[in-house]
Amino acid sequence: MGTLALESNLFLSPLAGYTNLPFRLVIREVGGVDLCTTDLVNARSLLEQNPKALKLIETNDDDRPLAVQLFGGVPEEMRDAALYLESIGISAIDINMGCPVRKVVKTGGGSAMMTELDKTQNLVRGMVDALKIPVSAKMRLGWDDDNITAPDLARALEDAGVAAIFVHGRTRAQGFEGTVKLSGIRQVVEAVNSVPVVGNGDITSPEAAKHMFEETGCAGVSVGRGAFYNPWIFKHTQHFIESGELLPEPTFEERIHVLRRHYDLMIKIFGENRGSIMFRKVAPWYAKRFGPTKPFNKAIVQISTREDFERVLNGYIEWRERFTDSNGKLLPQYELTPMVASFMNEPESAVEKRKAIPVPKGPVEVW
């Protein structure tokens, strides 16, 4: 990616509220990923050294290479925030061009950028010219179906010197509804000369990642929510693409091991009380692949201390035993159906069972 040599073409997508240092460290420890990106950060807040913005860019030596995602519509602020990040050792800058949330769009950033090609190109050129580290852009296919601007925007940004383009295969109007359009991502791949295009959207399995590579010709894929369910997705995808072999889904014990590690890092970095409270919204994502979880989901959203965490988790592990056989495997009637991406051809039985990947509640519902 520009001057950055990466060891994997699989990327962790920015997820505001989730892709903080503890989560990135967990994902890196499991493996298969190299460049990870922070939550989106307001360029102006960073220049003002706003404590919240500084917490969003918190990192350490194990969290490398790291891209910080910036948003904002003022070229000088975007450039200066990026220069600051470069000066503190950040590996790359990603520019948010996909966010439809009003707070972001009113700054002239986020998905507003997809509608004004010249202005966006100039802003990006100003950043690329000032920086030594690579600059990438993350966009959706366009504002809506009548305004599919991603191919033109990608071309304009390639001219401006971006090192990579990340594209979520939905429009801003789609929110998270409907299917990810692989043909839309392919159009972006075909629009540019040589800049790597990274496809994104709904990848929840190694097969889905491979399918996206094959159908779009993209140079890499980026996974967001799929990494919540399955922090192993990068490692398993790498293995599948290299060897054709699908590794078995992680066992319950492996999932619990990683969940514990995530919790430990959360309280180490955010403190016991805040880390526990933040973990309330993280744990239910892991739990989606545990089988029956009712009492766990009810109790975990009330934890405030490590003691609460241990009590809830240990109580749940014991409660869950009634749904398993003597080897600890879920009894057939409780087994989970495999996750299938929206863009995969599914067998009919799976279509009936398939649920869209949930989107956490809050202002990001329409990301």
Catalytic residues: 99
Q: Can residue 284 be called a binding residue for ligand FMN (CB under 6 A)?
A: no
Q: Can residue 359 be called a binding residue for ligand FMN (CB under 6 A)?
A: yes
* Residue whose CB is nearest to ligand FMN in the complex, by number: 224
Q: Is 309 helix (H, G, I), strand (E, B) or coil?
A: helix
Please report, as residue ranges, which positions from 198 to 217 form the binding site for ligand FMN (by CB under 6 A): 200-203
53 touches 42 (CB < 8 A): yes
286 touches 259 (CB < 8 A): yes
Q: Which helix (H) or strand (E) covers residue 176, if one does?
A: none
Least distance in angstroms from the C-beta of 332 to ligand FMN: 29
**Closer Cβ to ligand FMN, 17 or 161, answer by number:** 17
250 touches 261 (CB < 8 A): no
Q: Can residue 276 be called a binding residue for ligand FMN (CB under 6 A)?
A: no
Q: Can residue 45 be called a binding residue for ligand FMN (CB under 6 A)?
A: no
Q: Can residue 225 be called a binding residue for ligand FMN (CB under 6 A)?
A: yes
179 touches 313 (CB < 8 A): no
Count, residues near ligand FMN per rule CB under 6 A: 26
Q: Can residue 69 be called a binding residue for ligand FMN (CB under 6 A)?
A: yes
> Which residue from 178, 103, 84 is spatially nearest to 140, judged by alpha carbons?
178
Q: Which residues pair with 167 in a beta bridge?
A: 139, 199
Please report, as residue ranges, which positions from 294 to 313 form the binding site for ligand FMN (by CB under 6 A): none
Q: Which residues pair with 200 in a beta bridge?
A: 168, 222
Site string for ligand FMN, 249-268 (x = CB under 6 A): --------------------
74 touches 127 (CB < 8 A): no
Please report, as residue ranges, which positions from 123 to 142 form the binding site for ligand FMN (by CB under 6 A): 138
**Closer Cβ to ligand FMN, 133 or 221, answer by number:** 221
Site string for ligand FMN, 1-30 (x = CB under 6 A): ------------xxxxx-------------
**Closer Cβ to ligand FMN, 123 or 312, answer by number:** 123
Phi, then psi, of 185 in degrees rounded to 5: -65, -40
Number of CB atoms found within 10 A of residue 49's CB: 9
**Closer Cβ to ligand FMN, 196 or 320, answer by number:** 196
Tokens of 184: 């839309």
Place of tokens 């948010």: 96
Q: List the helix and strand counts (H, then E) for the chain.
A: 17, 8
Please report, as residue ranges, which positions from 339 to 358 form the binding site for ligand FMN (by CB under 6 A): 357
Q: Which residues bind ligand FMN (CB under 6 A)?
A: 13-17, 39-40, 69, 96, 98-99, 138, 168, 200-203, 223-226, 357, 359-360, 364, 367
